[in-house]
A and B are shown apart, each in its own frame.
Chain A
């Protein structure tokens, strides 16, 4: 019986790597696929609504696509920078979310067929790549830290998606993305190596989440937002050593 249990254990562990973070990153893969899948579904719906000349429906689909994308920003800039730049370029991009946003929500112009096609193509390529893309823990921690920092930018002017008025949604989805990445990849290992630090990171994520849990963008306390964002970034940077990782830099390609 004992031998059998040992065998079962071996079988279970047989798919695990030597580094628990790699296991976490593999678990995270399904989340990345799901999030980009949501963005892709939204973009396809956008394309359909555009073809049907349904402005309200197209706007709704854009918002749905955007939600999946914002949750994915933990990994998009670091792991697929060229697609990230195509999908999320601004201010005068020829394709991508913000080009479509300006037309749909700004001018009320539904003539975004080619842009919607391009968005679908880029998201589809990313979605496809995610099934086999290497997901290094170091890069994912860096992406998490960077996004935590970026959430702290002032939104006094209306924020990133100011034309559609969905900047607060962007921020909330960013924070959800941060929480998912941390919990799935790093939390267990950090709790094992430094429970106190793990508690600090969890607390910082909860605080950031609380700051953006307000009715609308003007009610986001910008000072608390910045503080919470930077304290989370610091806590995650400090966790790197305990996770046998290097302290992440704050810009992709600046390692």
Chain B
């Protein structure tokens, strides 16, 4: 028996930073939950780096960790998403976006998704293919109102709407919605050393960037009351929180330009790949009369203000275990409280993460990987052990045996503190975290799956 989700989702490995144009069959076959050829990009080796406000103020609260857990759990969503293992984090990877996400019949290009399409909630289907860009959630607490059209002033209402209406989930408890909101509000912008007070460029600024800044603030020649900075207010996270018609087909909310270098594709429907295309659009629609140099200056300025420190981080067991550790902190509260629902949510979500992590260490039947068989086997075994310890916790809490559950939780903690990290580290050279092994593995899978399409 082979696994499955990782194997499938990662059939195409393309870097988040730059697409390599390879063909992908991430989800394939006649019996998949999602449309064949859906690309979730779950196996990208580089993932958006997540920065939390709470990390600079004493650590994450229980509420934030619970929100992070729920955000990563398919079980809060409805049937199709749950079956497919889709969670909020599938699209908003580490609170960022997912520029490679593509779902046939629900996307028109990578990075957008139709939230009113037929797949996840037929009752919400508007019978139009009108996908919207998958946004980054960095700095979301500064970015009300919510939705591409800014229709929802409340993040809380927006989150509930996504769960219940867009993804047909059961009515979430108030505690879960509050927790998800707390988590989202904790996701910070990446620091940008180019930006000073009131959104001014500081530090070593190029002449092109300086000229771009001036152009950004300059009134439009035919509409002097307008300027780029008029909507993308530098003093306010480069947004005015208003809806505008910029010739893209309706009224849409002004997006932030902070960390926008990593938020492509651009515009409400993700129609543009680059700042060059965005600037060309405004030049055309508002008759700005920009020269080639002007356009380059504006792009240089946008790039400077849209920057962020360390936007991506390399996937590894350490990052996965850190996230799992955050999730598991919820159990320390929920087990003594006998909170069966939260314990089940945590066991389910952490267990899924650990099963996924297990498949990063290929089993001995995997012909695309050689070497380190013993290390891989031991890594897989210990991760599976941990999954079953979690299941024991779930069973014990369900049966009202909180003391037994806490004893199991202690075992879990002991394993996760030292043994698991060291055993995974020992196996890492032969794991899918090694780019060479990763590429070999997915290339082999891709070739096998290609055979399926030779006769079709």
Contacts and interface: CB of A to CB of B under 8 A. Distances in A.
B287 interface: no
Interface residues of A, number: 58
B374 A102 contact: no
Interface string B362-384: 01111110000010011011001
A253 B374 contact: yes
Contact of B1 (A81, A92, A153, A233): A153
A28 B189 CA distance: 61
Interface stretch (A3-11, A126-134, A154-162): A154-162
Interface in A77-124: 81, 84-85, 88-94, 98, 102-103, 105-109
Contacts of B451: 102-103, 106-107, 109, 163
Query: Which applies to chain B's interface (DSSP): helix, strand, loop or mixed?
Result: helix
Nearest to B440: A92
B418 interface: no
B448 interface: yes
Contact of A234 (B74, B368, B395, B445): B395
Given A102-B448, A157-B7, A251-B378, A223 B82 contact: yes
B204 interface: no
A221 interface: yes
Contacts of A153: 1, 3-5, 355
A170 interface: yes
B351 A226 contact: yes
B455 interface: yes
B33 interface: yes
B385 interface: yes
A181 interface: no
Interface stretch (B22-30, B137-145, B245-253, B313-321): B22-30
A41 interface: no
A249 B31 contact: no
Contacts of A26: none
11 contacts: A91-B441, A107-B454, A153-B5, A154-B355, A159-B31, A163-B29, A163-B449, A174-B1, A222-B82, A233-B391, A254-B377
Interface of B: 1-5, 7-9, 26-34, 74-75, 82-85, 348, 351-352, 355, 363-368, 374, 377-378, 380-381, 384-385, 387-388, 391-392, 394-395, 441, 444-445, 447-449, 451-455
